[in-house]
Amino acid sequence: MAYRQILEALERAIPNSAVWVVSTFPRGATQVVQPAKVSHSLLKGYTKEYHKDDRATWQSIRQGKPLTEGDLWDGISGFEASRYYREMLVPSEICHVAAAPLASPIFPGYPGSVHVYRNSELGPFSSGELTQLGRFAKQIDQAVEAQRITRQGRVPSVLTWIRRPPARLFVFDSHLKPLFGEAGLATLEDRVRDQMMRHAKTALSRVSGEGYSNDRICLPDARGDLWIFRAVAYGKYPGLTDGSAIFYAMQPDCREWATLRPADVAADAEMSRMVPAMQFMYKEYGRGPTLNEIAEVVKLSPFHFHRRFTEVFGITPKHFLLECQIHAAKTHMALGDKTLVEIANSCGFAHQSHFTSRFKQASGLTPTGWRKLLDDVRGR
């Protein structure tokens, strides 16, 4: 997306040692996505460990305004005592940070933040510079939204089954108190919300200390339709709370994943490398490409490709390919332009019974049941 020119202008306007764009992500973590020149050691440390300590992103999002290190960490002493400062920033000679919230740097419903870092020579940020940073954040939001509209185009009217709440990320502490996304919870159906709470209670009871769990869960609503989440529990998550936390990340549909481009996540070379494989599956789902074929797109062995793809995106290649096939099948059923046998053949399924079983696995309903549900939604 159109980051480069805005970030270059920001760097000229506000003296800095580094500028980052960080986004929440569907795998249940924050991710540095821009610019391409982030040092490998900083990025590796952040991705592997220090994202859990990133109060800069979370506090700027939660408070909805640009903040400096004293605001972000409840005072300078809190900032200097944090692991984020001591173990990640100090080795890079960084001692000041300012952050401003971003609406959705990569995916709708997944907010983020633009960070500006400074060394001791450049000194703290002024109130005027914070105001400037807020203006640049708004420019990024506008550019990203314009680019998203260009890529997706007008959503076809037949896609009436796609229901997405404005917020797609929900976070709870060890007492099941919402830490993030509280307003968005009201947009979820009671049954989905109740199942989420039961899962959270069980998942949080299994993690402690530096423990971690990662599940893909399918929660049926009252109509039988499935809502897919990545549920990630952390024994400790200092970026948001003193104790444990669990994230529920509603997964983007395949059309949204397919708008992703390598340049959107330029800071992470490995994630950028995997994007063409996702685009290949979205384009070739109809013939059911094998794991070997997909891995060849990014020149990796099937084993290493499967492992890395799953780690960087939070979804397996198998699940993504199935999502593409099911999405196409639903579109054909909504259009009414093919029989179930024709849909099975055109969407890459071996035969109609295979299509029916995989469709029910992915959506919670048989194709016939889902088509009836769609008719009810349309008021027929």
Separation CA 342–CA 161 (nearest Å) = 21
Q: Which segments of 115-175 does DSSP mark as H helices, in order?
A: 127-152
Residue type, 34: Q
Structure tokens at 84: 């984020």
Tell me whether domains 169-250 and 254-380 share a fold: no
Sorting pLDDT into bands at 50, 70 and 90, what band is 6?
A: very high
Residue of higher predicted confidence among 335 and 233: 233
Tell me, what's the pLDDT at 157? 62
CATH 3.40.50.300 correct for 254-380: no
Sheet containing strand 29-34, edge to edge, reads: 29-34, 18-25, 112-118, 96-102, 67-68
Separation CA 317–CA 290 (nearest Å) = 10
The CB density around residue 60, as the number of other CB atoms within 10 Å, is: 28
Separation CA 235–CA 214 (nearest Å) = 12
Tell me, what's the pLDDT at 37? 86
pTM: 0.92
Tens digit of pLDDT for each residue in 309-349? 999 898 999 999 999 999 999 999 888 888 999 999 999 99
* pLDDT exceeds 70 at position 156: no
Q: Which residues pair with 68 in a beta bridge?
A: 98
Q: What is the CATH number of domain 4-152?
A: 3.30.450.40
Structure tokens at 33: 């996505």
Tens digit of pLDDT for each residue in 178-192? 999 998 898 888 999
Separation CA 170–CA 231 (nearest Å) = 10
Lowest mean pLDDT: which of 202-206, 260-264, 278-282, 376-380?
376-380
* pLDDT exceeds 80 at position 128: yes
Domain spanning 169-250: which CATH class is it, in words? Answer: alpha beta
Write phi, then psi, for 331 (nearest 5 degrees): -65, -45
Residue range 129-136: average pLDDT?
Answer: 97
Mean pLDDT over each residue of the chain, to the nearest integer:
91
Q: Collapsing DSSP states into helix, strand and coil, what is residue 117?
A: strand
Sheet containing strand 169-173, edge to edge, reads: 178-180, 169-173, 245-250, 226-234, 212-220
Residue for token digits 């984020």? 84
DSSP 269-338: HHHHHHHHHHHHHHHHGGG---HHHHHHHTT--HHHHHHHHHHHHSS-HHHHHHHHHHHHHHHHHHHT-S
Structure tokens at 48: 């592997």
Count of alpha carbons within 13 angstroms of residue 308, beta-carbon side: 20
Q: Which of 98, 99, 101 has the alpha carbon at shortest distance from 123?
A: 98
Which residues lie closer than 8 Å to 14 by C-beta, 6 or more apart?
Answer: 116, 125, 129, 132, 133, 136
Q: Where are the domains of the chain?
A: 4-152, 169-250, 254-380
